[in-house]
Structure 1
Amino acid sequence: MRRRAMSLHPDTNTLNSYFDYNATTPMAGETMAAIQAALPLFANPSSNTLLAKNTKHIVSTARQNMAALLGAKPEQIFFTSGGSESNNWAIKGVLYPQLPKPGHIITTAIEHPSVLSTLGYFEQEHGFSVTYLKPDHSGAISTSQVENAIKPNTQLISIMTANNETGRLQPIESIAKLAQQRAIPFHVDAVQQVGKTPFSCTELGVDFASVSAHKFYGPKGIGCLYIKEPHNLNPLIHGGGQEDGMRSGTENLLALSGLAAAAEQASIHIEQWHGKAWQQKQLLMQLLDQSWLPVSFNGALSNQDALTNCLNASINGLRGEALALRLELNHGIQVSIGSACSNNKQKQLSHVLSAMQISEQTIQSAIRISFGQFTTEQDIRYLVAALEAEASALLGIGGKIANG
């Protein structure tokens, strides 16, 4: 009996109604093909045997491809399990040596939980002081805010490049220049931006950048930390000497093979993906404006100020969670009502939208729509039609937010 060949393409029927690309992206066909090709390879890359030649090549290719995508040198790329680990490593690597004289840290109130929780740990357990900069109504942090917050004992600045809920881009290059002038280590969480818009660690001038492969059509459980000066950061895991002694442990070959393919495809197609996403975002905003829906948009909208694949919108008077549930149950459409890393926690208002001083009622109505390379114009139109249908149904059954 012949076995059916494994499909090496995403399920297009599922992707037609998938609008949660900021949470995770489907693996591209090239990613799946690379992982499948690596399945028979079992030799340990740290071995000196002939069998290890191919596995060493996978690790080397992944490092070279990630360096090319990040505008960095291969020796500045260190593999991790993803964005949360990379954020933890950068922050802890900078702050642990400062434990005898804990100082001051600058971040924003709209960071990912893996940054906020880590900094909160140093604040509560080790006596560091943390300044949490508040964004303006568009979600922006200004360079002057950072400059005004700097103290003589500031030991770290950590700011995300693009927000996961609104897509708002921050003035990273100018903040990096400020940090360099003051000799303050500057870490960026670049998880949401890398693979969506051109990105260069060297041109931006950052010291650390966190990246996760599953945000740009790679596998989950693999990412990297860019370290400008590796000798300035303590190792994360001691042991066998992998990752130049910075993160010991046998390499995840299957994930690295997928990462190598995803990074290569992103480098090739990033301008095309960026342009296509902007066209689709403009279409989505136009269709929502033309609809009867009482829609308001949360955060910046232009392609200079925000990611082109993301739109945070509120259909005023409706609960976002009720709308999202009906979209999935009745249309198979998936949108988000917040970041994926916080949806499994106790229900609370978005800390991002709250920091932007958006009203509680508008926050309760908010949904995040994010799309990617597999999204079509037809999918966008299907989404808006479904939004109209389900909003109408919710209004008819009293699924409105109570006043007061």
Structure 2
Amino acid sequence: MNRINLDAQSSTPPAPEVIEAMRPYLSGNFASAAAAHYSGKQVRKAIERAREQIAAAISASDVEEIIFTGSGTEANNLAIKGILTARKPFGNHVLSTPLDHPSVWFSIQSMISQGFEHGVWEVDAVGRLPGIECLGENLRQDTILASVPVSTPELGIVQPIHAISEWLEREGVALMLDATTAGGWTPLDVATLKPSLMSLSPHRFHGPKGVGILYKRRGVSLVPLMHGGNQEFGLRAGTENVASIVGAGKAFELMSGILDERIENACKLQSFLLREIKSKIPSTGIIGPAPGKDRLSNQLNIVFEGVEGEALMLMTNVRGLDCHTGISCVNRHMESNRIPKATGLPDDLFRSSLLLSWHEEHTKADLYGAVEIIAACVGKLREMSPLWNNLQCGRMPSRLSLLPEIVQSSQRLLS
């Protein structure tokens, strides 16, 4: 069976060029970058070359603004805990959103015991942050940090970062951007966005696992989480994962040359998927904003009314489709209702959905095959569903009407 993997928001396959760039550092070039001998210096040059590639790809002004960590989660922890600890003399209030990745949310929560206070901005039904005048209502004199996710997997929303960044800069508040799910799929130019900190996960855009990136603007102070050696400018002690760092640099280099084309192709697949679902599966809707500039181009979270999403995922998995009902690194029981509660949408819409995401190696044939599998499984599950029977008989109203108007326009295309 040739499996179809539509779980690119969890991870993507390393590009062939990435694998080739990594290969020497998994065999012959095994020296420690901290060593003073010739082999160690060659490995150090490879790390610094990767730092240059990443800095160029995101328009960083200095290669020393690029910090290597072990994952996007570690990058978020270092960013949040590091800057709050460093800035504690200047205030104790941090703002974020209910859409935070757990590594951001729980990093902030862990600092409450150290005297910090956590304010949370509200979002609308598609996950969009409100206008600046509303955001400003939560700002305090002692606010020292605002953390914003560039995108949120369950909703696909891409936040209006430019406006938020300009406002926070005027207010003198540091901005942390969690771009771990947006990197590689939306432009991230730090010279324009002007964050104090930004985290990235290369494995979500054809780089390797085992490495995360933290952009730290020049002049921003962090207190390290780990102590030992002086690696990463004293911010991340420990022997570097050289192969993954080199692979990350290559993934960023590849991305910077084809990002516009990658986004355009992903948008075409997104439109194709919507059309196919429209023609084969009735009573469906999408969670989050309609496709366009406010949504990631490589994913859709689709509600299949009258069907339990987890059952649908398991059945499609048996038939050769890998997809998801949430974020892969999050336990399904942990904070499971935070995003539905924030958007005001009922839990059952999220529990009836599949999160489908694709990467640049996918084709229309892959998505067509996925829809065929999903349509067959939805039909089978609906045959056994009392809920679907009640909906068909009019004994209960459709929950799709609860989706916001911007989504209903696409939902009507799908029904």
| TM-score when normalising by structure 1 | 0.91
Contact 2:8 2:358 in 1 (8 A): yes
Residue 390 (structure 1) aligned to one of 366, 377, 381: 377
Question: Alignment partner of 1:209: what SS?
Answer: strand
Moved more, 164-173 or 200-209: 164-173
CA deviation digits over 1:180-210, x for unaligned, max 9?
1111111010111111122111110111000
Write the letter of the residue equivalent to 1:30.
E
Residue 334 (structure 1) aligned to one of 302, 322, 333: 322
Query: What's the CA shift for 1:229?
Result: 2.3
Where do 5+ consecutive residues of structure 1 fail to align?
1-11
1:362 alignment counterpart: 349
Matched residues, number: 388
2:105 alignment counterpart: 116
Contact 2:301 2:355 in 1 (8 A): yes
Write the letter of the residue equivalent to 2:25.
A
CA deviation digits over 1:344-381, x for unaligned, max 9?
35376453233111123212201111111111101111
Residue 375 (structure 1) aligned to one of 356, 362, 367: 362
Write the letter of the residue equivalent to 2:92.
G
User: Closer, same or farther in 2 for the Cα pair 1:46/1:348, shift >3 Å?
Assistant: closer
Write the letter of the residue equivalent to 2:258.
H
- Structure 2: how far apart are the matches of 1:265 and 1:202? 20
Query: What's the CA shift for 1:397?
Result: 2.4
Q: How does 1:130-279 map to 2 (within 5 A)?
A: 130-144=118-132, 145-230=134-219, 232-279=221-268
Where do 5+ consecutive residues of structure 2 fail to align?
391-395, 398-415
Query: What's the CA shift for 1:118?
Result: 1.1
1:53 alignment counterpart: 41
- Structure 1: how far apart are the matches of 2:234 and 2:86? 18
Identity of aligned residues (%): 28
1:126 alignment counterpart: 114
Moved more, 319-328 or 125-134: 125-134
Query: What's the CA shift for 1:97?
Result: 3.5
- Structure 2: how far apart are the matches of 1:348 and 1:181? 34
User: Closer, same or farther in 2 for the Cα pair 1:70/1:260, shift >3 Å?
Assistant: same
1:32 aligns with 2:5: no
Question: Alignment partner of 1:79: what SS?
Answer: strand
Contact 2:326 2:332 in 1 (8 A): no
Question: Alignment partner of 1:264: what SS?
Answer: helix
Contact 2:86 2:222 in 1 (8 A): no
Write the letter of the residue equivalent to 2:17.
E
Residue 107 (structure 1) aligned to one of 90, 96, 101: 96
Q: How does 1:293-308 map to 2 (within 5 A)?
A: 293-308=282-297
CA deviation digits over 1:97-116, x for unaligned, max 9?
45567622110001100111
Contact 1:76 1:227 in 2 (8 A): yes
1:346 alignment counterpart: 333
Aligned alpha-carbon RMSD (Å): 2.0
Write the letter of the residue equivalent to 1:382.
G
Contact 2:33 2:44 in 1 (8 A): yes
Question: Alignment partner of 1:306: what SS?
Answer: coil
- Structure 2: how far apart are the matches of 1:80 and 1:249? 10
- Structure 2: how far apart are the matches of 1:348 and 1:212? 22
Contact 1:105 1:156 in 2 (8 A): yes
- Structure 2: how far apart are the matches of 1:55 and 1:37? 10
CA deviation digits over 1:114-135, x for unaligned, max 9?
1111111222x12322121221
Question: Alignment partner of 1:354: what SS?
Answer: helix
- Structure 1: how far apart are the matches of 2:57 and 2:354? 30
Contact 1:193 1:307 in 2 (8 A): yes
Moved more, 351-360 or 220-229: 351-360
Moved more, 265-274 or 347-356: 347-356
Contact 1:293 1:388 in 2 (8 A): no
1:69 aligns with 2:46: no
Write the letter of the residue equivalent to 1:66.
I
- Structure 1: how far apart are the matches of 2:172 and 2:257? 35
CA deviation digits over 1:46-104, x for unaligned, max 9?
22222223212210111011112222131110101121111111111121245567622
- Structure 2: how far apart are the matches of 1:196 and 1:142? 23
Query: What's the CA shift for 1:166?
Result: 1.9
Write the letter of the residue equivalent to 1:381.
Y
1:21 alignment counterpart: 8
Question: Alignment partner of 1:131: what SS?
Answer: strand
Query: What's the CA shift for 1:37?
Result: 2.3
Question: Alignment partner of 1:374: what SS?
Answer: coil
Contact 1:71 1:201 in 2 (8 A): yes
- Structure 1: how far apart are the matches of 2:52 and 2:292? 29
Write the letter of the residue equivalent to 2:78.
W
Residue 44 (structure 1) aligned to one of 7, 28, 32: 32
- Structure 1: how far apart are the matches of 2:334 and 2:69? 30
Question: Alignment partner of 1:51: what SS?
Answer: helix
Contact 1:190 1:209 in 2 (8 A): yes
